Amino acid sequence: MPKSRTSSFTRRGFIAAGGALGLIAALAACGGTDSAKGDGGKDNGAAASGPWTFKDDLGKEVSTKSKPKNIVAFTGTAAALYDYGVPVKGVFGPTKTADGKPDVQAGSMDISKVEILGNVYDEFNVEKYAALQPELLVTNTWDGTYWYVPEASKDKILKLAPAAAISVGGDATLDKALERTADLAKSLGADMNAKTAVDAKARFEAAAAKVREATKANPGVKVLVGSGSADLFYVSTPDTSADLKYFKQLGVEFVTPEKLDEGGFFESLSWENAGKYKADVVLLDNRTGTLQPEELKAKATWAELPAVKAGQITPRVTEPIYSYAKCAQILEDLAKSIQNAKKVS
């Protein structure tokens, strides 16, 4: 979700560590951004030596003197690269829960083998980042900014290594974000012809077909995309996030909120007004920090939602891991939800 969505994140103040500054000059030479040229992100780094370039979704041609080895990434992006066999040294973003277990956004990564530079929004340890001698920073972008790179320390962070961003908002759709993430992984050395990669893409395509079939077989099922916090219930529009836009292309019928908050991603409803929109299925934000069904039982208006009464609640992977394997599972679960849904709204 965009930065305007603050309820799902713990915000902490950050004091940039002065020790990182001494490494800026040495590491800045690893690369930077320039006017956009090239082939749109195809593998320019396959050779064992020579420069590496990648045109990212901010329109910047990111380049380094050789293929980056020391990679630091937003947790979800790191998890996608991991699925393609590209390791990272450090991560920032929700990585582990309070009990030390992997966060949902960590995917299949072994989080004990990466340096966690920040585990919540606005937390990023610049000194630890510099100590990793980063050659490339990778993250997503919703609105033209670097996701989970704190505004307060952004300039210091971006001076330490080149940064590449994959779009998951704006005009992006799930299939496009997957394609671009795969392009990036390939440029970093992933074998996209490996059986696991080929099978995962085929599974994703088959899952997309299942969603289309489900929407045709059970037409008129209304889906509400929601997220709960202590004080507010957020209803998301299907027109701004890459995943929801793609689901809509596959035929999913969504509830569209009328009064979007600043940023245009969702409508904030008090719990007294949580029943404003009726739906047959609720896709519920599964991120750490949001209220889950067991916790939502205490909210009377939640319990009265038709979809909740019918038990038609499906977790929404609000920030997908953009590998074909992970997104195939999302589509398979969505297809089942729609196929089995009863019209209750």
Model confidence pLDDT, tens digit, residues 68-106:
999 999 999 999 999 999 999 999 999 999 999 999 999
What DSSP designation does 212 have?
H
Q: What's the confidence (pLDDT) of residue 48?
A: 53
- For the record, the structure tokens of 224 come out as 């509400």
pLDDT at 245: 97
- How confident is the model over 315-319, as a mean pLDDT? 95
Q: What percent of the chain lies above the pLDDT cut of 90? A: 82
pLDDT at residue 309, as a whole number = 96
Parallel, antiparallel or unpaired: strands 253-254 and 266-270: unpaired
33 versus 48: the higher-pLDDT residue is 48
Q: Hey, what long-range contacts does 95-98 have (CB within 8 A, 24 or more apart)?
A: 95/119, 97/288
pLDDT 10s digits, 220-274: 999 999 999 999 999 999 999 999 999 999 999 999 999 998 888 999 999 999 9
Which of 175-184, 256-265, 305-314 shows the lowest mean pLDDT across its residues? Answer: 256-265
User: Do the Cβ atoms of 280 and 222 come closer than 8 Å?
Assistant: yes
- Cα 254 from Cα 5, distance rounded (Å): 20
pLDDT value of position 283: 98
pLDDT of residue 2: 55
Radius of gyration of the chain (CA): 20
What pLDDT score does 1 carry?
56
Query: Sheet containing 52-55: which strands, arranged edge to edge?
Result: 31-32, 61-64, 52-55
The model's pTM is 0.84
